[in-house]
Chain A
């Protein structure tokens, strides 16, 4: 089977990369091809990386509180570049009330503190990539709240 390719990126002024490195290593050990972009990426640079690397997934790690500024920008750029078939997951310090708002933007899943690597691996293996539509978002939002 062809390994799934995922770009992992830190966007904006956020130097906390312990979490994303743990995820990168966990996904590598689960057989993924992980392209790690490094710290302080701009939304434009992240979208360019996804495009050039032909990744199925983009994982964003944001611990700076700027997720409601950065994620919409990235998703808008992805739609503009025709990358609707790439899925986006977000991890980091994301307040619970922001989760439905991120899902409504097209994010497939938000992984908050306490998530295990196995959860992320299972999700990526069982979910189709691609930006989510509004209906999918509300269904997935309901699921997140009951779990």
Chain B
């Protein structure tokens, strides 16, 4: 299959072509060509199924694949089309990988509203396959509004996933570690929801209570804690309804968003979720840039023209310098 053939067949909704394009993107081949060939807006959008990318994170063995299998079933029951990108680790030594997430995701062989793809996550990519955002775009254009990303068993400190998804769900299980584990910074503060998985095990409701306590202390948005047992099949619908609700409200918020509302929300501190996310993302970008180019700050503090400026003005200078740096390089 040539690139042109694949793109033509992709547009005709040929699964083989979708699979091949995903392979190329995963391997870093023809990425620019594929991205250029994709239309800007998704076609045939069902307003009841807004676009959404949901990441499922948690350490190895917590039951991410099994939980996703349950979610797939639950979303299919309400008519959603759903795709899964399941990441498993790739060996740094041999480049080999054993991708076993499908074992836990038995789906009907004839239901074409589900698509599952296994991906290898190289070392140093925080449990994620590279170029995931292009893959998500391909799946959405193909007709899967909802894309679930399963991370390759991550725990503390792996936060890159945050910028790739609309909602981040963290899976925890009872009988692993005491409450101090949750006090540590990392994924917990990034999560939009926490699922206490294997809720049929003893200690699950205690863990949920601890987490709710912990969340109540944290400033900012409310993070729901769900109790789910994939073994008993309980609690899955609650998570599904929460995901669907959040994606719906986000879609309508984005539609009715205008400059005045953004202005008001920043002004009053009563921020909307979208404004929150925008500011967070901008902060994150600035922080990354600063981290990579500490010399920019050093220069501002040494330059006689700027070094004695008050902090507010110095910050403006810094933003300008960072933006110039951003514009002049992509790295």
Q: Do A28 and B94 have beta carbons less than 8 Å apart?
A: yes
- B83 nearest in chain A by CB position: A52
Q: Do A34 and B109 have beta carbons less than 8 Å apart?
A: no
Q: Do A33 and B96 have beta carbons less than 8 Å apart?
A: yes
Shortest C-beta distance, B273 to chain A (Å), equals 34
Contact flag A34-B97 (CB < 8 Å), given A44-B110, A52-B117: yes
In the complex, whether A27 has a CB less than 8 A from a CB of chain B is yes
Among B19-27, B163-171, B203-211, B312-320, the stretch in contact with A: B19-27
Q: Do B99 and A34 have beta carbons less than 8 Å apart?
A: yes
Q: Do A28 and B27 have beta carbons less than 8 Å apart?
A: no
Contact flag A30-B110 (CB < 8 Å), given A53-B117, A54-B19, A54-B20: no
Among A35-43, A63-71, A97-105, A139-147, the stretch in contact with B: A35-43
Q: Which of B48-96 contact A (CB under 8 A)?
A: 90-91, 94-96
Which chain B positions have C-beta within 8 A of A18?
Answer: none
For the residues of A in contact with B, the DSSP-based class is: mixed
- The proximity string for A residues 82-108 relative to B, scoring 1 for CB distances below 8 Å and 0 otherwise, is 110000000000000000000000000
Q: Do B95 and A31 have beta carbons less than 8 Å apart?
A: yes
In the complex, whether A110 has a CB less than 8 A from a CB of chain B is no
- B99 nearest in chain A by CB position: A35
Contact flag A24-B98 (CB < 8 Å), given A51-B15, A53-B117: yes
Shortest C-beta distance, A76 to chain B (Å), equals 15
Which chain A positions have C-beta within 8 A of B118?
Answer: 35, 53
B residues contacting the other copy or chain, number (CB 8 A): 29
- B119 nearest in chain A by CB position: A33
Which chain A positions have C-beta within 8 A of B120?
Answer: 3, 33
In the complex, whether B102 has a CB less than 8 A from a CB of chain A is yes
For the residues of B in contact with A, the DSSP-based class is: mixed
Which chain B positions have C-beta within 8 A of A37?
Answer: 102-103
Which chain B positions have C-beta within 8 A of A81?
Answer: 16
Contact flag A3-B97 (CB < 8 Å), given A48-B109, A52-B115, A52-B116: yes
Contact flag A25-B117 (CB < 8 Å), given A36-B103, A52-B15, A82-B16: no
Which chain A positions have C-beta within 8 A of B42?
Answer: none
Contact flag A51-B97 (CB < 8 Å), given A37-B103, A38-B103: no
In the complex, whether A111 has a CB less than 8 A from a CB of chain B is no
Q: Do B98 and A45 have beta carbons less than 8 Å apart?
A: no
- A83 nearest in chain B by CB position: B16
Q: Do B109 and A45 have beta carbons less than 8 Å apart?
A: yes
In the complex, whether A29 has a CB less than 8 A from a CB of chain B is yes
A-B contact pairs, 15 of them (CB 8 A): A2-B27, A28-B97, A28-B98, A29-B94, A29-B96, A30-B94, A31-B96, A33-B90, A38-B102, A45-B107, A51-B19, A52-B116, A54-B20, A81-B16, A83-B16
- Closest 7 A/B residue pairs (Cβ): A38-B103, A44-B109, A54-B19, A28-B96, A45-B109, A54-B23, A31-B96
